[in-house]
Amino acid sequence: MSVELPKVEHALDVTIEKLVYGGEGLARTPEGVLLVPGVIPGERVQVLPEPPRRGVRHGHLVQVSETSADRVAAECPYFGRCGGCQHQHISYARQLLLKQEILRECFERIGKLRLDVPIYVVPSEPWRYRNRVRLLVEKSTSGFMIGYRELASHALCPVECCPISSPGLETVIRELSQGTLASLFPEGAAELELFASDADRAFWATVYSSLPAPARFGEAWREVFPAFESVCWYHSPSGKEIVWGEGAITSHVGEFHYRVSHHSFFQANRFVLEPMIEAAVGELSGARALDLYAGVGFFTVPLARRFERVAAVESQPAAARDLGANVGVAGTRVRAYDKLAERFLATTSHNWGLILVDPPRTGLSKPVREHLKHLRPQELVYVSCDPTTLARDAAALVASGYQITSAHLIDQFPQTFHIESVLHLTRIG
């Protein structure tokens, strides 16, 4: 659809060429590349450019002159102000296509690799999928607010709903936004992390604050929200915490179940957990498998069903404790190591048939890449939450004698720019 709109003084009239990782659209101008949020490739838009920052020029969308057929109305009333979502204005089918394009481009631009295999896409329910949220809390003489950071800002965007959160979590957000339990929070700023098990059966809450815990905070929280099996107040300056309840909840993923405690990482989309395990583990089997950055054992537990011996390595204290508990049901088939990946790889043997890695956004460190190069397992599975570091690491692995045999895009975070992917690599020769 094309609608001629009056030009805004000082605005540039540009056509969006593509989306880049981070959620912005790229347009080319005589002064160079311009990045604009809230657009779709092919749209003609009017943009007010901002001064360059660190060599990058951003712009503020003023008007859409030619609208993409994939533009839709955002479901969230805070979209465009809240910094949590970037793609709510794009139809979900187009979001998936754009993410595939971005993943391929990252391989070509950063890794200098052509991704010759198909990208198998695992879609999600596009709304109410998140089983984990982290909110900002502010209390002052002017009132009580909860929300997320504003777009491109550290300021708080107060919210009363969050339509990408699970129904149970959204109910808690709505209650808190209306002042429920506000009297329990001390004045000042804090962060509140909420986690829900499968189907919203059980929950925990963690408050991160520079102030000590108020008396009876956890008891009062659990009286209002009985499904919360555990509440934790973490005092940031001292590193001390008070826990009311079990300290963890159990989350089920198909036939597997996992203990997840406060501060432990667990995948955030309740709809794609089983397909993600299938994409990573599939029909792989053999004698020995190694799971690096194992977390609470999300992939370790299913690997133990298919391999004779499995080692799982995790260094984050809370996750390492959960990992030990979760793999205990496998008996001697699995051994958990509370170590950094670099330290474990420096002393391990060379006879791993499979190594699975699920590193943080920073990807694999150079020492880990070098160790993998020398260990040379027959199969490598790389689970990634950042396509830029994945492309960098994949290039190093291919150069050391591996070929990419399959790629999956797991849409963990609909309505956002985030891309989760699973890459399978097989040793050549």
Measure the CA–CA gap between 130 and 209, rounded to whole angstroms.
24
Region at 401 (left for phi over 0; alpha for psi -120 to 50; beta for the rest): left
Return d(Cα 26, Cα 18) in angstroms, integer: 5
Amino acid letter for position 357: V
Cα separation, 165 vs 192, in Å, equals 14
Q: Are strands 44-49 and 354-357 parallel, antiparallel or unpaired?
A: unpaired
Query: Which secondary-structure segment (H or E) carries 59?
Result: strand 59-66
What whole-number distance in Å separates Cα of residue 116 and Cα of residue 408?
13
Output phi, psi for 45, to 5 deg: -135, 160
| Straight-line distance from the first to the last Cα atom of the chain, in angstroms, rounded to the nearest whole number | 54
Give the integer Cα–Cα distance in Å for 155 and 136.
10
Strands across the sheet with 12-15, in order? 12-15, 44-49, 59-66
Long-range CB pairs of 2-5 (<8 Å, 24+ gap) are 2/44, 2/65, 2/66, 2/67, 3/65, 3/66, 3/67, 4/65, 5/46, 5/63, 5/65
Under 8 Å CB-to-CB from 154, ≥6 apart: which residues? none
Which among 76, 162, 232, 385 is annotated as catalytic? 385
**82 part of the active site:** no
Pairing relation of β-strands 228-235 and 203-209?
parallel
CB contact at 8 A, 139 and 186: yes
Residue 156 and residue 136 in contact, taking contact as beta carbons nearer than 8 Å: yes
Give the integer Cα–Cα distance in Å for 281 and 320: 21
The tokens of 297 are what?
């054992």
Residue 193 near residue 133, CB atoms below 8 Å: yes
Question: Are 358 and 293 spatial neighbours (Cβ–Cβ below 8 Å)?
Answer: yes
Cite the active site residues: 385
